[in-house]
Amino acid sequence: MTRFDAIAFDLDGTLIDSAGGVAHALNAALAQEGMPSFALDTVRGWIGDGPDALIARALATPELASFDSYELAARLRRGFDAATLRSPMAGSRVFDGIAATLDEIAQQRPLIVITNKPTPLSRAVLHAAGLLRFFEAVHGADMPLQRKPSPLLLRQAASAVGVATGRVLMVGDAAVDIAAALAAGCPAAWAGWGYGHMPADAPAEVWRLARPHELLLRLAMPVSASTEC
């Protein structure tokens, strides 16, 4: 188990099935403004680019287009953050097999969270989920330029734990996770149990994982075998 010096995980759709929680926070913010809510399946399709993009997608719908304004978006963001911090795991759950997988890997190498969710919200969710203890660091997109597919967070996280960027494996369910890894020069693994889809043009070297425990199996393979999967 020496191919990677650290493992980075996306949060929403990779570690935590948080679509219900994101929908809860968004709809709570909308309700404060007297605006209609959205169904879970609709919100699930908006997840992956952080709360500002989520809110922008909601405001771009026919139901809310007439409400669109910068001031409203800022108020909705404050409401979203407050709802998340009040009940970080409302409507959410840890994906089956994640805790056991993290527990085993954390004994071998540092684990990091790389997410487009802002850091304070990410830490609150991870703490409430009982997963924060597994991670050496949590790097959220607190500024727009940090959002995946930008490689910036991956590069910052690798530097913070003292490893080469190319020795960090990025695990995520979304196209932006794979794109960020490739842009940073990191190997990548696609979390097939999440919300996203594997990019059609993803290199063959990207691991395709159907369940969390498959990551353990891949990490245990000899380097020559794992690169052929």
- CB distance 173 to 194 below 8 Å: yes
Residue 6: its H or E element: strand 6-9
User: How deeply is 184 buried, as exposed, middle or buried, from its count of CB atoms within 10 A (0-12, 13-18, 19+)?
Assistant: buried
Band (224; pLDDT cuts 50, 70, 90): low
Mean confidence (pLDDT) of the chain: 93
Question: For residue 68, what pLDDT is reported?
Answer: 67
Distance in angstroms (rounded) separating the CA atoms of residues 29 and 179: 31
Q: Provide the pLDDT confidence category of residue 229 given band limits of 50, 70 and 90.
A: very low
pLDDT at residue 1, rounded to an integer: 42
Gap between the Cα atoms of 190 and 175, Å rounded = 9
Per the CATH hierarchy, to which homologous superfamily does domain 6-17+92-226 belong? HAD superfamily/HAD-like (3.40.50.1000)
| pLDDT for res 2 | 55
Q: Which residues of 91-105 are buried (b: 16+ CB within 10 A; e: fewer)?
A: bbebbeebbebbeeb
127: exposed, middle or buried (Cβ count in 10 Å: 0-12, 13-18, 19+): middle
Among 5, 10, 81, 142, which one carries the catalytic annotation? 10
Mean pLDDT, residues 118-127 taken together: 98
Higher pLDDT, residue 221 or 125: 125
Q: What pLDDT is stored for residue 92 in this prediction?
A: 97
Angstrom distances, CA of residue 45 to CA of 23, 131, 162:
11, 25, 35
Is 43:19 a contact under the CB 8 Å cutoff? Answer: yes
Measured between alpha carbons, how far apart are the two ends of the chain, in Å? 16
Domain boundaries, the chain: 6-17+92-226, 19-86
pLDDT 10s digits, 160-210:
999 999 999 999 999 999 999 999 999 999 999 999 888 888 899 999 999
Known active-site residue 10: yes
The predicted structure's pLDDT at residue 223? 67
Which pLDDT value is given to residue 197? 85
Question: CA angle, 17 as apex, 220 and 209 as ends, to 5°?
Answer: 30
**In the predicted structure, residue 226 carries a pLDDT above the cut 70:** no
Report yes or no on whether pTM surpasses 0.85: yes
- Which CATH number fits the domain 19-86, given the four candidates 3.30.70.120, 1.20.1600.10, 1.10.150.240, 1.10.3720.10? 1.10.150.240
